[in-house]
């Protein structure tokens, strides 16, 4: 298939539709990466452009005092009869663009690409990173590959990820920890249950503890993060007439970014200390990722908040802002679209939000918001 042509100077709404119409399910992003690279090379004048696998990187060297990183992933979840894009107008939602990736996050990518092609006079240098494989296991994440292989591209004063936030800044992100708790017993025939030791029954105290758990709320830089400790999976049982000799509960702890993963694990072990101390349960960490502090006190981030009319809130889910935070770069999420509509068959974005985010970032990158 020939490389689709993208007009980066077109309205970002039209550009969003064009991006959506290029299928780019995770691990199949070469066509959209080709299109983005070709458009940047043809329609921008002073960007250094590098291709790394299916990541497309571009940056200016204008000698500005600060550098802003705009990063967005090119991949989507599998398509479910929701490509190509289509526009609808209803009394309830107004003008809405439908299609896989409209929310997560080709509308954000479209805004970044449009601004790169149309802003010749910025108050900061720009770095754009369009990467692959965000929607699948972290080991395949293209941004991680850039961090390993081209670390100088992840140098900046503030990073903006085009994750869907309905046009409102969502700062930082919470960390995530998954722990598998295992109870051991003795297998026996259920007709002679007294001869066994039921592993499933041993989960009772733990599940009661989870049901009674009161999650913490914490304010950081004016953002309220709400933690959550939840059972997300229960496994056990052998057959309908067998006392199970093993049972497991998977617990997910979403923790505020003022905790490290090590502190989060210590807290989880404290919550279930009684079961762990007497040997009822053993614990194994199956997944862990640090959160990201909002960093809104940083001057570059504070200017972005001002450009967004002071509208910001905490990000509860984990996003790649954590990668930038770990490098000491304040990072926020800002993009069109309701995140609750991401990955759905009826994924859709109000076109007004695409325009709104474009205006916010245009004012921020040109310094127009400073004069207000």
Name the phi and psi angles at 18, rounded to 5: -65, -40
Give the C-alpha separation, 332 to 69, whole Å. 11
Name the strand (E) or helix (H) holding 37.
helix 30-43
Q: Which residues pair with 229 in a beta bridge?
A: 253
Q: How many CA atoms lie within 13 A of 146 on its CB side?
A: 29
Edge-to-edge strands of the sheet including 348-350? 86-90, 94-98, 348-350
Q: Whole-model pTM?
A: 0.87
Give the C-alpha separation, 351 to 44, whole Å. 25
Active site residue 134: yes
The set of residues, in sequence order, having a beta carbon less than 8 Å from that of 294 and lying 6+ positions away, is 171, 172, 220, 221, 223, 257, 301, 312, 314, 330, 332
pLDDT of residue 361: 97
- Cα dist from 258 to 14, 261, 328, 352, whole Å: 40, 10, 14, 35
Choosing from 75, 135, 221, 227, the catalytic residue is 75
The set of residues, in sequence order, having a beta carbon less than 8 Å from that of 266 and lying 6+ positions away, is none
Choosing from 134, 135, 157, 227, the catalytic residue is 134
pLDDT by 10s per residue, the chain, length 372: 799 999 999 999 999 999 999 999 999 999 999 999 999 999 999 999 999 999 999 999 999 999 999 999 999 999 999 999 999 999 999 999 999 999 999 999 999 999 999 998 999 999 999 999 999 988 899 999 999 999 999 999 999 999 999 999 999 899 999 999 999 999 999 999 999 999 999 999 999 999 999 999 999 988 999 999 999 999 999 999 999 999 999 999 999 999 999 999 999 999 999 999 999 999 999 999 999 998 888 888 888 888 888 889 888 888 899 999 899 998 999 999 999 999 999 999 999 999 999 999 999 999 987 654
Name the phi and psi angles at 355, rounded to 5: -65, -40
pLDDT of residue 46: 94
Q: Does domain 12-172+292-371 have CATH number 3.40.630.10?
A: yes
Determine if the peptide bond prior to 44 is cis (ω within 30°).
no
The label of the residue with tokens 């004069």 reads 371
Give the C-alpha separation, 236 to 248, whole Å. 6
The set of residues, in sequence order, having a beta carbon less than 8 Å from that of 14 and lying 6+ positions away, is 7
Q: How many CA atoms lie within 13 A of 262 on its CB side?
A: 0
Contact assessment for residue 68 and residue 49, using Cβ atoms and an 8 Å cutoff: no
**CATH says 175-289 is which class?**
alpha beta
- Cα dist from 45 to 34, 105, 117, 288, whole Å: 18, 26, 8, 42
Give the C-alpha separation, 14 to 21, whole Å. 11
Candidates 200, 181, 204, 316; CA nearest to 251 is 181
DSSP states of 348-367: EEEHHHHHHHHHHHHHHHHT
Contact assessment for residue 43 and residue 35, using Cβ atoms and an 8 Å cutoff: no
pLDDT of residue 371: 54
**Tokens read off for 22:** 């290029």
The label of the residue with tokens 């051991």 reads 184
∠ CA 130-132-138 to the nearest 5 degrees? 125
- Domain residue ranges in the chain: 12-172+292-371, 175-289
Active site residue 81: no
């Amino acid at each position: 298939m020939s490389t689709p042509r993208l007009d980066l100077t077109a309205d970002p709404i039209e550009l969003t539709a064009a991006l959506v119409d290029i299928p780019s399910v995770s691990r199949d992003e070469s066509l959209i990466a080709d299109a983005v690279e070709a458009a940047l090379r043809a329609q921008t004048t002073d960007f250094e452009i590098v291709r790394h696998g299916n990541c497309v990187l571009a940056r200016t060297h204008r000698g500005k005092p600060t550098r802003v990183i705009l990063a967005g992933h090119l991949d989507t979840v599998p398509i479910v009869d929701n490509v190509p894009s289509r526009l609808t107008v209803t009394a309830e939602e107004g003008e809405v663009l439908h299609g896989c990736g409209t929310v997560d996050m080709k509308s954000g990518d479209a805004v970044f690409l449009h601004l790169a092609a149309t802003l010749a006079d910025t108050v900061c240098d720009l770095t754009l990173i369009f990467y692959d494989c965000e929607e699948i296991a972290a080991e395949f994440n293209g941004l991680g590959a850039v961090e390993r292989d081209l670390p100088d591209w992840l140098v900046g004063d503030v990073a903006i990820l085009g994750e869907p936030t309905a046009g409102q800044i969502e700062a930082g992100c919470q960390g995530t920890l998954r722990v598998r708790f295992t109870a051991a017993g003795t297998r026996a025939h259920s007709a002679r249950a007294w001869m066994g030791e039921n592993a499933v029954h041993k989960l009772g105290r733990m599940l009661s503890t989870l049901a009674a758990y009161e999650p913490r709320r914490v304010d950081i830089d004016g953002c309220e993060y709400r933690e959550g400790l939840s059972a997300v999976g229960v496994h056990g049982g052998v057959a309908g007439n067998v006392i199970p000799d093993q049972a497991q509960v998977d617990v997910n702890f979403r923790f505020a970014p003022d905790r490290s993963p090590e502190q989060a694990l210590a807290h989880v072990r404290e919550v279930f200390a009684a079961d762990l101390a007497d040997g009822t349960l053993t614990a194994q960490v199956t997944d862990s990722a640090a959160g990201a502090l909002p960093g809104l006190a940083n001057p570059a981030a504070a200017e972005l908040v001002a450009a967004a009319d002071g509208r910001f809130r905490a990000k509860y889910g984990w996003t790649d802002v954590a990668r930038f935070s770990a490098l000491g770069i304040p990072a926020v999420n800002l993009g069109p679209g309701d995140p609750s509509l991401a990955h759905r068959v009826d994924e859709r974005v109000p076109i007004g939000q695409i325009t709104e985010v474009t205006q916010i970032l245009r004012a921020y990158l040109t310094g127009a918001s400073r004069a207000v």
